[in-house]
A and B are shown apart, each in its own frame.
Chain A
Amino acid sequence: MTKTTLLAALVGSTCLANAALSQELNALVWCDHTDASFVAPFEEEFGVTVNLKEYEGTGAALSLIETSQPGDWDVLVVDGIDVPRVVAAGILGPLNTDELPYDTLFPELVMEENHVIDGVTYAISEKYGYNTVSFNSEVFTAEDMADMTRLWSGDFAGQLAVYDYYLPVMGMIAVGLGMDTATLSMDDLPAIEEALLALKDSASSVGEVVSSQTAIATGEVDILVGGGEWVTAGLTADLPNLDWIIPEQGAVRWSQSIGVFADSAQPDLAQEFVKYVLSPEGQAALATSSCYWAMPANAAAADVLTDDQKRALRWDDQASYLARALLYPAPDAELDAAMQDVWTRFLAR
């Protein structure tokens, strides 16, 4: 072997080693996944870097995907209700279910009707919670919040903020008006819009995740419509006065699902990431992520979470909450567009 060949081999092997070390996994996620302590164990175990792109709302994810090249993304976290939509768009590929913890998943979170399409599993639930009413217990009692229709009655004018996401808030109003979120139709929209616009008249602000949390945490408002444990649980230690309740009429349940992109260049690594997220350790870290806390989909996380953390998440009340909360509305394209038009009028009011 000549010196030149030896040098070339050395350079080549070094490049390959560097390529392995610098392997990157690209995930499109909600902000709770961007907590460094959440991905660090996975990065250390597999010697890879996980690049996390944060978005809010499925529409934003679709925009990002449409303006990306095939293969840019490996893992997608998306609202459980939107899994059929992204599968229909060819975004998610089949998920290998062999090593996923279905036996310890909360039964309500299996959601086969959303995750399994034509016998193929495309996603699995990873986290869930409720869009309901958060409030300052130093100003209001749970009884004050028990009737959801009071939110748009004008009783709390100037004292409430609204979470800026049309599906959960319009779903909540539908529940408050006695409708079933699963069967919403165009005929239901006028009544929902009337209540929604009345709610806007009482609202001090309308904001996304962080703005909503800030509004109630700083005392700018005393009620957050669309809030829930995702607003208050992580703040329990510092702000024990923040509380949340599911009103008499009920609330809506949100859930996040995770899957692997159909055109991922490294589906095996992406599958390993999904396994990590669903592991008890991954679930506990995700449940208590700095952006927002919420319940893990895998009940086995109970072995890792501390008693204080479980108390903040109201672990022991979940059976009752799950029974009283309906899933997000799952509108078809026409109803979805009409709901977004209503939401735009709500914002422009």
Chain B
Amino acid sequence: MSHRASIETRATRRAWWLAAPALLWTLAFFILPFGTMAVLSLWQRTDLGLEATWDLGNYASFLANPAYIQALTNSLEITVTVTILSVLLAYPLAWIIAEEIPERFRRLALALAVIPFWTSYVVRSYAWSLVLAKSGVLNDWLGAVGLGPLDLANSRAATVIGFTHFFTMLLTLSIYASLVQMPPNLRRAAADLGAGAFATFRLIVLPLTLPGVMVGAFLTFALCIGDYVTPQILGGGNDLALPQLIMLQIGRRADLPMAAALSIILMLAVTLAYLGMARWMKVVR
């Protein structure tokens, strides 16, 4: 073996050793649980317990059941709405923090923006349910200015509001990170070449901050579509979403195989969203 080959072998071995913890972590906490879930989804729940039938019966049942399809549709509609709203709100907020607020106040502004993360998910959802309740804070204010009460509690609108509040903060952070990394001389150069503010934003700023937007949007999509707590508390059981359907299989039917199949479908939706995002980014670049 030549000296060069020996060095390469040692380097490869070293790389494997260094990557080993991450690989083991992924194996133990993603691949094994995912594999178990995939296998379980091919079983069936019977009166006598779980039976290893090794077929796609649970997936066929999903496709044949309009209520299940409705739950997936509800989840997708809520998630897409929340993702779009969050991006539309987060971008101007991140821009204001990164560009308009004096540098010495930026940390404070960022801290204020992430304060909602400091409270628990459940507490935040219940707080929103108090705000949006029939006799809640919002309707008190509306009543004080002579406007009629809004019937927002226990609705999809309440779920979307609760989600959007949370994910706007998440997206603000990822977009802010993209904005501050952008070299300022690019915009100055664009201005020198005669580009107006809108053209500079469209041709320079937006393309350069798009990776931050897309990463934040994907995180929003993945976290939102898999969330059980917010639709349960704010939706008032009126808008069955896929995670709630999964919990119904576990909590009511003790049907772990069907719950596993629905979870795989949920993961498939997230994977498709990722592939769509990756493809779109490739096209844009």
Contacts and interface: CB of A to CB of B under 8 A. Distances in A.
B211 interface: no
A347 B248 contact: yes
Contact of A344 (B154, B248, B254, B256): B248
Interface string A206-221: 1100010000001110
Nearest to B247: A60
A220 B254 contact: no
B113 interface: no
A99 interface: no
B134 interface: yes
B251 A348 contact: no
Contact of A66 (B50, B74, B237, B238): B50
B44 to A, nearest CB: 12
21 contacts: A55-B251, A59-B250, A60-B250, A89-B48, A158-B151, A166-B252, A204-B154, A205-B154, A206-B236, A206-B237, A207-B236, A218-B133, A220-B134, A333-B47, A340-B253, A343-B252, A344-B65, A344-B240, A348-B67, A348-B70, A348-B74
Interface residues of A, number: 32
Interface in B97-149: 133-135
A92 to B, nearest CB: 15
A229 interface: no
A91 to B, nearest CB: 11
Given A203-B238, A204-B236, A348-B71, A66 B256 contact: yes
Given A205-B238, A206-B238, A66 B49 contact: yes
Nearest to A343: B252
B245 interface: yes
B160 interface: no
Contacts of A311: none
A155 interface: no
A63 B67 contact: no
Contacts of A345: 66-67
Contacts of A20: none
Most chain A Cβ neighbours within 10 Å, of B48, B133, B253: B253
A219 B252 contact: no
Interface in A158-174: 158, 162, 164, 166
Interface in B26-62: 47-50
Given A158-B151, A205-B238, A347-B237, A63 B49 contact: no
Interface string B218-242: 0000000000000001001110100
B237 A219 contact: no
B90 interface: no
Contacts of B236: 204-207, 211
B153 interface: yes
Given A89-B49, A218-B133, A344-B67, A63 B240 contact: no
A158 B134 CA distance: 11
A57 interface: yes
